[in-house]
Structure 1
Amino acid sequence: MFRVPQTCAPVNRPGPALASFCLPLLSFSASILVGVKTRAMGSAQNVVLLSCATSVPPRRFTQQQALELAGYTSPRIREIFLNSGIDGRHFWLDPENFTSNETPDELHRRYREGALHLACQAATDCLRAAGLQPADVDCLFVASCTGYLCPDLSTRLAGHLPMRSDVQRGALLGHGCAGALPLLQRAADFARAHPGRRALAIAVEICSAAYYLDNTLETVIGNAICADGAAAVLLSTTSSSTESRATPVLLDFYSVLDPAHQDKVGFEQREGKLRIILAAEIRHLAGPIVDRCLDGLLTPRGLRRDQIRFWILHPGGRKVLDAAARYLGLTDDQLVFSRRVLRDFGNMSSPTVLFVLHEVLRSGQPRPGDYGVLLALGPGFVAEAALLQWQLPGQSEAASLFSQGVQGQ
């Protein structure tokens, strides 16, 4: 057995006065196993998602509490907070010690402590769900955009768990809300290149270390929806599970980069702090770039959008999901997992779409042959997508389609 080391434990502990709205001190996390028999799925090139886990800080804040924490008094800003489609968010901070004029050093300390702890917890639970130990990981990738560390998070995490001294590592920085998709692609590339080896991919963000307080609309929106969290997925071409049920296989990825609008979303530096950039034009740019991305992902495989059962969309905000529903013609049922994550956790940037995937996995709804699309927009301006399919052990995509057709008759 293994445990989250003491070095990953929370530093700031809430006092008794906070008991009314603070969760127990241990980080809340969830994990789910989606394993199959110990053999390659379909072909040696198929990459199987073995397990998935999520983690958030112990302290949860309602939108009213977050509004008071930020110190906003404007009725208009209050309306933005309370009509965001969010019930509560988790932050790596103790409100008893919080001040709105934190220094860059204090924000950096929050990122270092929070990111390492949440990444440790998500990694631990993800491996435990697959019945594995940190020493079983061959490659570790970590995506993050809300802070910078050297040595990077993957190196620090490998030492904390601990992993083998020969574990390969990689960091993906600055991909924002879309970061989980290139993260998965790099991990899948490793798994395909090294059949049988395991790649652990972690997306972690401490948005409470990357806030900036002013009254501009973009910073207000960022402060109204952003939150802290981490998610981990384990990939390989083989599984250590003895179960023989349908498991998600990563089939393909597709990206569309629009550099003409790279200044419309991301972060900028002000007074040594990160300040969010969310241009209003994004709502008009999103539809066309998503169209191109989905066409590039689905058309080569002869798939139509109505063949996708699970739409695993990054919930960038309530209006983002509303626009996606209109533009893609999706029903409320098709966005229920994305809206649930937004309601319960807010927008945690890169790990958020993996939280949605986790909800789909633990719902028990996927059947053999079902397709799912992961989709997120991020700085660049970029659309990132991944195609997955639930397959039985030893089954190919074509066989899954045939089985699905027979079941539908």
Structure 2
Amino acid sequence: MASLLSVASAAPRHQADRQLSTTQAQRMSCRTAREASTVEKLHRRTGVENRGSVLLDQAPSGALTQSFYEALSVDAHGPTTRTRNDRFAIEAPRLAVASAAQAIELSGCEASQITHVITVTCTGFRAPGVDIDLIEQLGLPATTQRTQIGFMGCHALINAFRVARGLVAAEPAACVLIASVELCSLHYQYGYDAQRIVSGSIFADGSAAAIVAGDDFNGSHHLGGLGEIAATGSCLIPGSRDAMSWLIGDHGFEMTLRPSVPELIEANLAGFLENWLAQENLQLDGIGGWAVHPGGTRILDAVEKALGLATQKLKASRDTLRRHGNMSSATLGFVLEEFNHASVPRPWVMLGFGPGLEIEVALIR
């Protein structure tokens, strides 16, 4: 059994409210008043009120500022990918260590008991990477075994749970630290392009961590935790390859998110989930908590419609989107944290979507 002992999160020190986010987007995307007006309307529709960014600084006056991105009138493309990735190398370890330290503390385990670490990100890379930072800064054993889940997108925390479940099945005495860290604000794309503006209006920075232990782990998991990672599943939606993409460009990573994504999810989700849950002797109405990745309000609406869910069922997802934005793979950790604090009854279903178009799912009993 893969026991989920704890989940924890960490957000940047400073958050931009919707007005500041809109102003920054206009500065980097617009050349006319008409374009600026459209950007403002798009930001109002996102459902996002605040977003954390590692790029924000606080001036002596108290105002939040950033100097990483020049105005469109000065720079037509923004920093190079190298410059953005260098900033990732500085900022990512701080957030990852913060969430991981909290997850270890909440689990009741000691750092010295961690046997494996799984790092998750799609917003920056280097070697030695965040996995080495975690080992060194948290005092994990030098023998800690490492796995990196990279560039899989918003559902990748589910992929990490799958890997952790497999590890503790193979090594029942294992204790696995999962740490996701995403710095989406490093990849803002310049210019007046509707898809890029929509993507830039919802993505944010954050980190989430979890501890997963096997049956023979000599620790505290027998005292409780969040439940068992009982099953995981995947489904590739046919003919959807171009609906969503995440590519490495010369000036950051480039997101494509076509308007058809919600419709594709709505048309394909229920059939897959019903069959998958049936293998676990469950039905849709038997799920206590739906931890759905809040990729945007239209995606959440599509999930509700496809599964016949009451709006209240996705409250934690909508609240996370409103308070933090879309932090890619880290976001589902924030939603699970909400479930834990609210004592949402199990079983829980984690649900995420990413390039493919791929559906990823996990069951927490």
Q: Using structure 2 for the length normalisation, give the TM-score.
A: 0.88
SS for the counterpart of 1:261 is: coil
- Distance between the aligned counterparts of 1:109 and 1:246, measured in 2? 37
- Correspondence 1:361 to 2:323: no
Equivalent residue for 2:143?
Answer: 166
- Correspondence 1:83 to 2:60: no
Equivalent residue for 1:275?
Answer: 254
Question: Residue deviations 1:363-404, cap 9 Å, x none?
Answer: 1232xxx31100000112110001111xxxxxxxxxxxxxxx
Asked whether the 8 Å contact 1:255–1:384 carries over to 2, the reply is: yes
Letter in 2 for 1:355: F
Equivalent residue for 1:294?
Answer: 273
Asked whether the 8 Å contact 2:8–2:100 carries over to 1, the reply is: yes
Question: Residue deviations 1:143-185, cap 9 Å, x none?
Answer: 1111121223223322332311111000011110111111110
SS for the counterpart of 2:335 is: helix
The 5 A counterparts of 1:9-408 are: 46-70=1-25, 71=27, 72=29, 74-94=36-56, 95-100=65-70, 101-238=78-215, 240-241=219-220, 244=223, 247-258=226-237, 260-366=239-345, 370-389=346-365
SS for the counterpart of 2:234 is: strand
Q: Mean alpha-carbon deviation: is it higher for 352-361 or for 274-283?
A: 274-283
Q: CA deviation at 1:223?
A: 0.7
- Distance between the aligned counterparts of 1:199 and 1:213, measured in 2? 39
Letter in 2 for 1:62: D
Q: CA deviation at 1:96?
A: 4.0
Counterparts in 2 of 1:251 and 1:165: CA distance versus 1, 3 Å: same
Identity among equivalent pairs (%): 26
Question: Residue deviations 1:287-327, cap 9 Å, x none?
Answer: 23322431342011221100011011000111111222122
Counterparts in 2 of 1:130 and 1:379: CA distance versus 1, 3 Å: same
Asked whether the 8 Å contact 1:178–1:379 carries over to 2, the reply is: no
Q: Mean alpha-carbon deviation: is it higher for 197-206 or for 242-251?
A: 242-251
Q: Which runs of 5+ in 2 are unaligned?
A: 31-35, 57-64, 71-77
- Distance between the aligned counterparts of 2:126 and 2:276, measured in 1? 34
Asked whether the 8 Å contact 2:4–2:225 carries over to 1, the reply is: no
Asked whether the 8 Å contact 1:203–1:232 carries over to 2, the reply is: yes
Counterparts in 2 of 1:365 and 1:256: CA distance versus 1, 3 Å: closer
Q: CA deviation at 1:242?
A: 8.2
- Distance between the aligned counterparts of 2:341 and 2:130, measured in 1? 28
Letter in 2 for 1:357: L
Asked whether the 8 Å contact 1:187–1:235 carries over to 2, the reply is: yes
- Distance between the aligned counterparts of 2:224 and 2:147, measured in 1? 31
Asked whether the 8 Å contact 2:3–2:225 carries over to 1, the reply is: no
Q: CA deviation at 1:286?
A: 1.1
Letter in 1 for 2:348: G
Q: CA deviation at 1:352?
A: 0.7
Asked whether the 8 Å contact 1:373–1:385 carries over to 2, the reply is: yes
- Distance between the aligned counterparts of 2:113 and 2:245, measured in 1? 35
**What number of residue pairs does the alignment pair up?**
341
Letter in 1 for 2:273: L
- Distance between the aligned counterparts of 1:151 and 1:260, measured in 2? 38
Q: Which runs of 5+ in 1 are unaligned?
A: 1-45, 390-409
Asked whether the 8 Å contact 2:80–2:250 carries over to 1, the reply is: no
